[in-house]
Chain A
Amino acid sequence: SQTIHQWPATLVQPVGSPLSLECTVEGTSNPNLYWYRQAAGRGLQLLFYSVGIGQISSEVPQNLSASRPQDRQFILSSKKLLLSDSGFYLCAWSVSPGQLGETQYFGPGTRLLVL
Chain B
Amino acid sequence: AQSVSQHNHHVILSEAASLELGCNYSYGGTVNLFWYVQYPGQHLQLLLKYFSGDPLVKGIKGFEAEFIKSKFSFNLRKPSVQWSDTAEYFCAVRGDGGGFKTIFGAGTRLFVKA
Contact = CB atoms under 8 A, between A and B. Distances in A.
Interface in A70-115: 90, 97-98, 100-109
A106 B39 CA distance: 13
Contacts, number: 50
Given A46-B101, A51-B100, A59-B101, A103 B46 contact: yes
Interface stretch (B11-19, B57-65, B103-111): B103-111
Nearest to A102: B94
| Most A CB within 10 A of own CB, among B44, B99, B101, B105 | B44
Residue of B30, B31, B51 most packed against chain A (CB within 10 A)? B51
9 contacts: A46-B102, A51-B100, A97-B100, A98-B99, A100-B96, A102-B32, A103-B34, A103-B46, A109-B43
